[in-house]
Amino acid sequence: MDIQSTKIELVKTILAIENKDFIQKVAEFIKNEKADRKNHINFSTTFSNCCFYFWFLNSFFG
């Protein structure tokens, strides 16, 4: 799957989630990752970690 398809699927997954706490955790995670990225963290590693985090949390809350 190419990166654009992965991003679209990720957004669809997020939009389907109704759990407010989960959405807040995801938003917090992304905000923290954006701050880290400003400190020169590799974007692809950050994105991979983010996808894993979404998958992991969605396994429990989704």
User: Per-residue pLDDT for the chain (62 aa), expressed as one digit of tens each?
Assistant: 688 888 888 888 888 889 898 888 888 888 887 665 555 555 566 667 777 777 777 776 65
Q: What is the pLDDT of residue 39?
A: 56
Which residue type occupies 51?
C
Q: What is the pLDDT of residue 2?
A: 84
Sign, Cα dihedral of 44, 46, 51, 52: positive
Q: What is the pLDDT of residue 27?
A: 86
Q: What is the pLDDT of residue 59?
A: 76
Q: How far apart are CA 24 and CA 30, in angstroms?
A: 10
Give the pLDDT confidence of 30-47 residue by residue, as tens digits.
888 766 555 555 556 666
